[in-house]
Amino acid sequence: MAALRGLIVVALLGGRVASAQPDPVHGRVTDATGKPVRDATISIAGSEATAKTDARGYYTVTAAAGTTLVIIADGFAAGLATAGAEDVVVLLAEEPASETITIESDPPPAQQGAVRIGRQELQRIPGTGNDLVRALNAMPGVASYPLPLGASGVVIRGSSPQDSKVLIDDFEVPALYHDIGFKSIVPAEAIDSLEYVPGGFDVAYGRAASGIVSLTTRPGSEQHAQQAELSAGDVGALAQGSLKRGRYMIAFRRSTIDMLLPALLPDDLDLSLTTVPRFYDEQFRFDYMLGKWNVRVSSLGSDDALELYASKDQNADKRFMNRTRFVRLTTAARYHDGPWTANLAVSGIAQQYTFERGLYQHLDVTAPALTGRLELMRTAERAGGLTDVAWRLGGELVGTRYGIDLAMPQDRREGEPAAGDDPMDTSSSYAGTVITKNVATWSAMAANLDPRIRATIGVRVDGYTRAQDVAAQPRGELAIKLTPKLLARLSAGGYSRPPEHQTELLETGLRGERSTQLIGGLAYEPSEGVRVQSSLYYTDRRRMITRDEMGVLANTGRGKTVGAELLGTLTRGPWFGWLAYAYSRSTRVDAPGEASRLFDYDQPHSVNVAGSYRLGRWQFGARFRLHSGLPMTPVDTAIFDSDENVYIPAYGEVNSSRAELHHQLDIRIDKSFKWGAVKMTKFIDIQNVYLNDSVVGYFYNFDYTERAAFRSLPILPTAGLRGEF
């Protein structure tokens, strides 16, 4: 078989070379059961260039449309595919089975309702300002708002931002966006793919009660290449290539707004910028083959800073300073031999958040953390009357040492209206160290009960040692192939997050929040490049951490979310299409006996329709979005506290009013051209082209007698230029 494989390779590599312009081609390699095949080698006919599949079986090669691709992986027969359409999937029959190659559209995502899209597709969604992570708000189930919401910036299926996890290369990062300009911390060119899992995620993921957003950085290519990009707000560069048996990718980016802003601010503005808002970020990744080990060393860092005085005189009590920075270093190794696979990883992060306001309020948190993770997987064709059996066992330990120096007003909890602004309020004070050690172990088994039915059952146990809390979370899924093109899935599971959000860290009596998710749905793939998936879900939340009447945090809240989602995608020839609709209703009960209220980010309706068409060197795209406004709590009246010189609002029913419906049209045009040896791409991305400045919220004046509408920007153009050489 190996000799035959070699013969095929030699024959094909000596074959014809497509005359069309080479372009990045994405695809995925799976085995006959749909499981990803990692480290498969993709060779391009007529070229010496090769590429490897990643942990999820995805690959990217640069090849002209029509070029033949050869796929080789240990334990499998060689496979063939044709470059051209994106998302080509090559199913390889295991040796010594037939060498039949089946080409289909994208395989079913790992979980019902999940979406995974590569960089090329992300770049075709208009309205992101060329920031691919902002394509997240085109996903069904993600709340749309002009600003990133909460700590992570992402609200998924009616849950608080801290209930979901943001992972980059499988490890958590403290924030997905820079503070300034809402740019994501990973530039477009350093992203390989974005995976959005709104619920029902695998036992390997934990400490999250809602969903997962997982970004995968781009592994370096076999060929040396450099890119530079200048766009509104930042400038960046990326270099990639191979070194012996390894491949590297290194990228760096810096904001440019700090260079422009001083010139743009009017002279009569009562403002003094001492550290103009600026950010840096870096990404590094080195993948190396060492026998049967695939080793990856990576680094990801971000640094945001801003210091200003809200006065020309630079009075100390008008000072405002913020710095957010972190660097994460990860070493991961994967071993694969026959039925055995092992994944090991060690990752450390150093992070600091500093905030100072005036003479009294400050917050300085350092949180170095170390994570160790191990997962073993054993596969078997048959076992106990089941077929295609996969069993996994994993464990993880995360230790974090928080150094906290805090003198701030009480942090606002979800559902609480904003407090009046008092720069002297330091009612929440603490100075000391908090250490958390979170351990987890999980096991799962997946098997075919029948050629059409695949079941996955597992359990994850999280131990939050500081909270003295153990969360056992059984999870399972049943996937039934109703027809060759129609798949039904039903999943149920328990999820939890530790009590470590903001001042939860300062309490010792809190336990982790819990949720139970039920998800059912259908996935229909009528033809290659076309997929329609729909989901119904119900999430029940318990032990939610709320503040009682005495201002003490306690696990007294409950919540539930019901929703429905629909996503249709088209990737065919020059066309790319995207249709997403989500309905949800998310409510909370803050304490037993209290009335149910709407969740702060409840967004009943959200529609995203996008289309893109390639015509030669041009690409044209448009996107229409429509979504409900977020709930608001009105102010009925206010009492003036004369001694404190502050108005104390009396709020109406929590979240009893709502901002208005918003809709907008975004367009994007790309054009590529050659400039000497450099391949250039210029783009313009214009958001809200028909100037719909809807009200997205309100600010009250000092005595709450007037409210100011906070409107979305009527139009926001972003332009940029990228060079590849």
Task: Note whether 363 binds another protein by CB under 8 A.
Answer: yes
**182 vs 524, which CB is nearer to another protein?**
182
Closer of 328 and 460 to another protein (Cβ): 328
Nearest residue to 222 (alpha-carbon basis) of 51, 440, 405, 421: 51
The DSSP secondary-structure symbol of 316 reads G
Q: 3, 266, 267, 313: which one contacts another protein (CB under 8 A)? A: 313
175/487 with CB nearer another protein: 175
Residue 347 interacting with another protein (CB under 8 A): no
221 binds another protein per the rule CB under 8 A: no
Residue 318 CB, nearest approach to another protein (Å)? 7
360 touches another protein (CB under 8 A): no
Least separation, in Å, of the C-beta of 65 and another protein?
Answer: 40
* Of residues 447, 407, 4, 456, the one with CA closest to residue 202: 456
Q: Is 113 in the site for another protein (CB under 8 A)?
A: no
Interface positions, 131-190, toward another protein (CB under 8 A):
146-151, 153, 161, 175, 177, 179-182
Q: Is 340 in the site for another protein (CB under 8 A)?
A: no
The span from the CA of 401 to the CA of 404, in Å, is: 10
Q: Cα(80)–Cα(60) distance, rounded to whole angstroms? A: 15
Our finding on whether 642 is near another protein (CB under 8 A) is: yes
d(CA 444, CA 602): 33
Determine the longest span between alpha carbons in the chain, in angstroms. Answer: 89
Question: Residue 396's beta-bridge partner residues?
Answer: 373, 440
Q: How far is the CB of 436 from another protein (least distance, A)?
A: 19
Site stretch for another protein (CB under 8 A), options 307-315, 470-478, 484-492, 548-556: 307-315
Number of residues binding to another protein, judged by CB under 8 A: 59
Beta-carbon count within 10 A of 144 CB: 25
Q: Is 663 in the site for another protein (CB under 8 A)?
A: no
Strand partners, 103: 90
In the set 21, 98, 274, 315, which binds another protein (CB under 8 A)?
315
Instruction: Give min distance, CB of 706 to another protein, in A.
Output: 4
Query: Of these, 198, 277, 512, 723, which contacts another protein (CB under 8 A)?
Result: 277
Q: Which of residues 23-42 bind another protein (CB under 8 A)?
A: none
Residue 411 phi/psi, 5° resolution? -70, 145
Q: Supply φ then ψ for residue 227, to 5 degrees.
A: -140, 150
Binding status of residue 394 toward another protein by CB under 8 A: no
Is 129 a binding residue for another protein by CB under 8 A? The answer is: no
CB-nearer residue toward another protein: 147 or 243: 147
Whether omega for the bond prior to residue 498 falls within 30 degrees of 0, making it cis, is no
Burial degree of 643 (CB within 10 A; 0-12, 13-18, 19+): exposed
CA distance 64 to 18: 6
Instruction: Report if residue 420 touches another protein, rule: CB under 8 A.
Output: no
631 binds another protein (CB under 8 A): no
Residue 188 backbone phi and psi in degrees, to 5:
-55, -45
Element (H, E) at 443: strand 428-450
Cβ at position 129, least distance to another protein in Å: 11
Q: How far is the CB of 708 from another protein (least distance, A)?
A: 4
| 309 Cβ neighbours under 8 A, 6+ residues apart | 271, 272, 274, 315, 318, 319, 320
Look at residues 405, 436, 424, 414 and name the one whose alpha carbon lies nearest to residue 510: 436
Q: Is 645 a binder of another protein (CB under 8 A)?
A: yes
When computed from its CA atoms, the radius of gyration of the chain, rounded to whole angstroms, is: 26
Q: List residues near another protein by CB under 8 A.
A: 146-151, 153, 161, 175, 177, 179-182, 268, 270, 277, 306, 311-313, 315, 317-318, 322, 324, 353, 355, 363, 408, 411-412, 502, 637-643, 645, 648, 693, 696, 699-703, 705-714
